[in-house]
Amino acid sequence: MTSEGVDRVSRRDLIQSAEIITIGTEMLLGDLVDTNTAWMSSRLAALGVGIYRHTTVGDNRERVIGALREAASRSDLVLTTGGLGPTSDDLTNECLAILAGRKMGERSEAREHVDEMFARFGRKPTPSNYKQALFPEGAELIPNPRGTAMGALLDVEGTLFATFPGVPVEMRGMFEETLEPLVRERTEGSIVSRTLHFTGIGESALAEQVQEFLDATDPTVAPLAGQGKVRLRITTRGDDPEDARKKIEPVADEILSRIGKYYFGEDEETLESAVGRLLEERGETLSLAESCTGGLLAKRLTDRAGSSAYFSESVISYSNDAKHRLLGVPEKLLAEYGAVSEEVARAMAEGVRGVSGADYGLSITGVAGPDGGTEEKPVGLVWLGLADAGGTYSRKLDLTAWEASREAIRERSANLAFDFLRRHLDTEVPSGG
């Protein structure tokens, strides 16, 4: 990665604090949701680096330089995303050069990289594309095997700057392949977090049961709630990961002894991955019959690689005709009780289990809105059905008091549907049926 005339980035000093700067007027205008910053933050936190601040500024030379300068005054490491493209409003590396008092110069390895990437996709670069070969003099380059924009690493008076493109898949690869090993060499000790996931209990009711841990400073325990779930993140620092984990364990054990009945998994676990894991362990299979969620349950279940081991199929029966034809829901039931009813939810679950031969059939039918609600069946009324060899179960979800959007009703009812099945697999007795 080094070449003649390029400074090696100093690796002597410890990196204890970091900031992330997102550069792009489109972010300030709200055209895009920034997912890069959360991803980078979570990676840095795991490396034991404290994060002071996130900042977003537009494509404006003065404001970008201002943000870089402020961050340098506070933090050991400053990461930027965005502003590395070929157009005239892509200013990040130029602003970094101005801050560092360096000139911009073309780097042959970056020019060759642009040529190679274009060749791979069978296209020809235009003159403007070679703007991506210009870097502050003395910068180390961050290779980008997934796109044309390489990044720059440059030490400016003791603060290490690293510039990344805004395209998530490119940024993530560059972070993992180049930045992470470098930061790892310059941190001491480890910060370890363990996240416990709960469902079926509200945030404040949960907080009251574990209040002294929330008030403690080491390990810290932070609650986080959303869409019917509450997480507790337990964090501490140790000489090494093993040491930190040992400090977390008794806290986690005590929390679980108090509120374990609401617990469903740790760290990256989601309700759907918990369901997937349980099915995998039991060697059982699931099929789905979705109406109001329109594919969301299946989409979430198949987000997990390897889901084909326990998931064979889903029938999204949006129309009554499809409910009858594909799932065998009797027309009489549909006429008598309507599509959003306990009877139809049960028949959908039994139907999909029957046609698929899966061990479990899970169904959902409801009114997601914003239209289509009636006094009897308002927006937010959802029925779940679950069929297995032992019988058929059902559960009513009432999301009406909570004046939510179509999107939120679909998300929350999907969570509750996965939880319904998860509790059943965990051999708890379902609430209905």
Judged by CB under 8 A, which stretch of 92-100, 178-186, 248-256, 368-376 contacts a copy of itself? 368-376
Q: How far is the CB of 3 from a copy of itself (least distance, A)?
A: 25
Q: How far is the CB of 55 from a copy of itself (least distance, A)?
A: 6
Q: How far is the CB of 400 from a copy of itself (least distance, A)?
A: 11
CA angle (222, 228, 232) in 5-degree steps: 15
Joined tokens for residue 195: 């996240």
What whole-number distance in Å separates Cα of residue 238 and Cα of residue 263?
26
Judged by CB under 8 A, which stretch of 28-36, 100-108, 154-162, 249-257 contacts a copy of itself? 28-36
Q: How far is the CB of 133 from a copy of itself (least distance, A)?
A: 14
Judged by CB under 8 A, which stretch of 3-11, 32-40, 243-251, 270-278 contacts a copy of itself? 32-40
Q: Which of 10, 209, 374, 405 binds a copy of itself (CB under 8 A)?
A: 405
294 contributes a contact to a copy of itself by CB under 8 A: yes
120 contributes a contact to a copy of itself by CB under 8 A: yes
Q: Which of 159, 178, 273, 314 binds a copy of itself (CB under 8 A)?
A: 314
Given the complex with a copy of itself, which of 195 and 270 has the nearer CB atom?
195
Q: Which of 245, 377, 406, 432 binds a copy of itself (CB under 8 A)?
A: 406
What whole-number distance in Å separates Cα of residue 171 and Cα of residue 39?
10
**Per-residue contact track with a copy of itself, 49 to 78, x per CB under 8 A?**
--xxxxxxxx----x---x-----------
Q: Write out the binding residues for a copy of itself, residues 215-234 only, by CB under 8 A.
A: 215, 222-224, 226, 231, 233
What whole-number distance in Å separates Cα of residue 259 and Cα of residue 166?
41
Q: Which of 179, 230, 271, 297 binds a copy of itself (CB under 8 A)?
A: 297
Handedness of CA 206, 210, 211, 216 (dihedral sign): negative
What are the helix (H) ranges across 59-215? Answer: 61-74, 92-100, 108-120, 168-174, 180-185, 203-209, 211-215
Amino acid at 35: T
Judged by CB under 8 A, which stretch of 246-254, 316-324, 359-367, 415-423 contacts a copy of itself? 316-324
Rounded to 5 degrees, what are φ and ψ at 335? -70, -40
Query: Residue 183 half-sphere exposure, CB side, CA atoms within 13 Å?
Result: 30
**Cβ contact 159:16 at 8 Å:** no
Rounded to 5 degrees, what are φ and ψ at 43? -70, -45
321 contributes a contact to a copy of itself by CB under 8 A: yes
126 contributes a contact to a copy of itself by CB under 8 A: yes
What whole-number distance in Å separates Cα of residue 320 and Cα of residue 327?
10
Given the complex with a copy of itself, which of 1 and 38 has the nearer CB atom?
38
Given the complex with a copy of itself, which of 266 and 303 has the nearer CB atom?
303
**Cβ contact 389:355 at 8 Å:** no
Q: Write out the binding residues for a copy of itself, residues 90-119 only, by CB under 8 A.
A: none
Q: Which of 16, 143, 326, 338 binds a copy of itself (CB under 8 A)?
A: 326
356 contributes a contact to a copy of itself by CB under 8 A: yes
Q: Write out the binding residues for a copy of itself, residues 144-173 only, by CB under 8 A.
A: 145-146, 167-169, 173
Nearest to 9 by CA among 162, 232, 176, 210: 162
Nearest to 265 by CA among 426, 397, 393: 426
Residues contacting 109, CB < 8 A, separation 6+: 3, 141
What whole-number distance in Å separates Cα of residue 21 and Cα of residue 24?
10
316 contributes a contact to a copy of itself by CB under 8 A: yes
369 contributes a contact to a copy of itself by CB under 8 A: yes
Q: Which of 299, 328, 373, 378 binds a copy of itself (CB under 8 A)?
A: 299
SS3 131: helix
Handedness of CA 32, 35, 40, 45 (dihedral sign): positive
Q: How far is the CB of 231 from a copy of itself (least distance, A)?
A: 7
